[in-house]
């Protein structure tokens, strides 16, 4: 059975002009011949398409349609990150060219080579199974790939100006709070108690700032079909910056729904992080601290912030659906995720447990 992550028919309202893209590809890459354009179904933010020309497979990334958050979906920035990281972090795709000419598809975009492999979604695909030992190994390899990123000398990679580590945690709390208030719809929770607690309990700046992905999770990595515990790619770099590695860890934990979590959280699960042998959040934190040498004393803060930030992302996307800026029916249910994430963040704040 073919376990390679499949592309599907392009969703209504998200079509691309094949003739214009074909001319652009021929001009920039020498790619000729008729194109087939399909769309990868995963993800809720930037749109990702598979472009096939003969035996050549390329991936095109563009911003979503409709109103977008200020400074979000910067294709040029994401392209630059990939180009700068490729020599020092082998998991990034090979970025080929960037185009900011609106005459091509009406928005900036970039094109990269496809990394063919397995991407795990909510449940394991038919034909793929992990023993408990393999599941544990996969979790540890995922953590190690994140640690490799955090260890990179970002100045030597030419990315020192990507972000400002001083005051990073405060800017994150303040910035995401502003974004939530701006995107809140009448049916959304107010999140004010959570935002106030996060503002009042910010830890100090990290003594070891690093390059952070800000969406490092199991369904953003590509696995080797011949060895499905080996990571061969890391995708979706739109939110990468220089900041506190523990904030990156907390953001990852927010997606990590484990076997013992509530039914409500299980309903939000996007990845098979609940399978036998998979590490728990506590085990991930312990392993991260041991491997990085960083103390993780304020993990409840980082996890609660990750839950809040995830709710803001969901709310921003839901805002577009609520106001008729997108017809993607997947977005209709995000309001329930936002409410569930508020309840979970409040639990973490009250208990101090992750």
CA distance 120 to 57: 20
For residue 118, pLDDT over 80 is answered with: yes
Asked if 30 and 177 sit in the same domain, the reply is no
The two structure tokens encoding residue 53: 């020309």
The answer for residues whose C-beta is within 8 angstroms of residue 133's C-beta and 6 or more apart is 277
| Domain-located, residue 285 | yes
Give yes or no for a contact between 252 and 153, defined as CB atoms under 8 angstroms apart: no
Cross-strand partners of 60 = 49, 111
The two structure tokens encoding residue 76: 């040029």
Sign of CA dihedral 180, 244, 160, 158: negative
Asked if 71 and 191 sit in the same domain, the reply is no
Asked if 138 and 96 sit in the same domain, the reply is no
- In tens, the pLDDT along 323-339 reads 998 888 889 999 999 99
- In tens, the pLDDT along 270-291 reads 999 999 999 999 999 999 999 9
What's the structural domain count of the chain? 2
Residue 328 has a pLDDT of 81
Asked if 89 and 150 sit in the same domain, the reply is no
**Mean pLDDT for the stretch of residues 54-77:** 80
The answer for residues whose C-beta is within 8 angstroms of residue 278's C-beta and 6 or more apart is 135, 136, 138, 139, 258, 259, 272
| Domain-located, residue 4 | no
Give yes or no for a contact between 219 and 179, defined as CB atoms under 8 angstroms apart: no
Higher-pLDDT residue of 20 and 45 is 20
* CATH number of the domain to which 100 belongs: 3.30.200.20
Asked if 101 and 171 sit in the same domain, the reply is no
Give yes or no for a contact between 91 and 136, defined as CB atoms under 8 angstroms apart: no
| Domain-located, residue 326 | yes
* pTM of the complete model: 0.93
The two structure tokens encoding residue 240: 């990468």
> CA-CA-CA-CA torsion for 177, 180, 181, 184, nearest 10 degrees?
-160
Residue 69 has a pLDDT of 47
Asked if 93 and 137 sit in the same domain, the reply is no
Asked if 80 and 145 sit in the same domain, the reply is no
Residue 66 has a pLDDT of 64
Higher-pLDDT residue of 33 and 53 is 53
The residue to which tokens 């992302």 are assigned: 313
The two structure tokens encoding residue 260: 């013992």
3 state SS of 289: helix
Asked if 141 and 91 sit in the same domain, the reply is no
* CATH number of the domain to which 233 belongs: 3.90.1200.10
| Domain-located, residue 122 | no
The residue to which tokens 């963040």 are assigned: 345
> Domain end: 44, 78, 113, which one?
113
| Domain-located, residue 119 | no
For residue 18, pLDDT over 80 is answered with: yes
Residue 70 has a pLDDT of 44
For residue 352, pLDDT over 90 is answered with: yes
Give yes or no for a contact between 160 and 309, defined as CB atoms under 8 angstroms apart: no
CA distances from 140 to 92, 146, 147, 150, 236 (A): 19, 10, 10, 15, 20
Domain enclosing residue 105, as ranges: 18-113
Asked if 246 and 325 sit in the same domain, the reply is yes
Alpha-helical runs (H) found in the chain: 18-29, 75-85, 102-105, 132-151, 168-183, 192-200, 245-255, 263-268, 281-292, 299-322, 334-351
Residue 235 has a pLDDT of 96
Confidence tier at 189 by pLDDT (50, 70, 90): very high
Nearest alpha carbon to residue 33 among 8, 50, 51: 51
Asked if 201 and 102 sit in the same domain, the reply is no
**Mean pLDDT for the stretch of residues 15-41:** 93
CA 261 from centroid of its chain's CA atoms: 22
For residue 197, pLDDT over 70 is answered with: yes
Asked if 201 and 346 sit in the same domain, the reply is yes
| Domain-located, residue 327 | yes
Sign of CA dihedral 201, 273, 248, 138: positive
- In tens, the pLDDT along 200-243 reads 999 999 999 999 999 999 999 999 999 999 999 999 999 999 99
Residue 311 has a pLDDT of 98
155 — phi, psi (to 5°)? -70, -45
| Domain-located, residue 297 | yes
pLDDT over 90, % of the chain: 89
CA distance 252 to 284: 10
Residue 45 has a pLDDT of 74
Residue 347 has a pLDDT of 98
For residue 71, pLDDT over 90 is answered with: no
| Domain-located, residue 321 | yes
Asked if 78 and 162 sit in the same domain, the reply is no
Residue 26 has a pLDDT of 95
CA distance 321 to 189: 17
């Amino acid at each position: 059975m073919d376990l390679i992550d499949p592309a599907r028919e392009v969703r209504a309202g998200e079509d691309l002009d094949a003739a214009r893209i074909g001319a652009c590809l021929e001009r920039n890459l020498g790619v000729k011949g008729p194109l087939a354009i399909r769309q990868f179904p995963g993800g809720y933010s930037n749109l990702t398409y598979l472009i096939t020309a003969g035996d050549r497979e390329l991936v095109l990334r563009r911003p979503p349609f409709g109103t977008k958050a200020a400074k979000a979906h910067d294709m040029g920035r994401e392209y630059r990150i990939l180009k700068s990281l490729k020599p020092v972090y082998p998991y990034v795709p090979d970025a080929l060219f960037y185009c900011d000419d609106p005459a091509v598809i009406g928005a900036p975009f970039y094109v990269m080579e496809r990394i063919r492999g397995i991407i795990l979604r909510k449940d394991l695909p038919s034909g793929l199974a992990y023993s408990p030992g393999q599941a544990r190994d996969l979790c540890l390899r995922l953590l190690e790939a994140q640690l490799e990123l955090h260890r990179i000398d970002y100045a030597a990679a030419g990315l020192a100006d990507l972000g400002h580590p001083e005051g990073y945690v405060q800017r994150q709390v303040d910035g995401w709070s502003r974004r939530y208030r701006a995107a809140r719809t009448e049916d959304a929770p107010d999140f004010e108690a959570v935002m106030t607690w996060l503002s009042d309990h910010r830890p100090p700046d990290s003594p070891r700032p690093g390059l952070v992905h800000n969406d490092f999770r199991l369904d953003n990595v590509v696995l080797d079909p011949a060895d499905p515990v080996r990571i061969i790619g890391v995708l979706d770099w739109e939110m990468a910056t220089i900041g506190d590695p523990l904030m990156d860890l907390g953001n990852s934990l927010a997606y990590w729904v484990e076997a013992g979590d509530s039914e409500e959280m299980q309903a939000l699960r996007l990845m098979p992080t609940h399978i036998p042998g998979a590490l728990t959040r506590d085990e991930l934190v312990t392993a991260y601290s041991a491997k990085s040498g960083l103390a993780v004393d304020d993990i409840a803060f980082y996890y609660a912030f990750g839950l809040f930030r995830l709710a803001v992302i969901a709310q921003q996307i839901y805002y577009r659906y609520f106001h008729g800026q997108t017809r993607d029916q997947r977005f209709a249910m995000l309001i329930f995720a936002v409410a569930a994430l508020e309840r979970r963040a409040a639990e973490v704040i009250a208990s101090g447990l992750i």
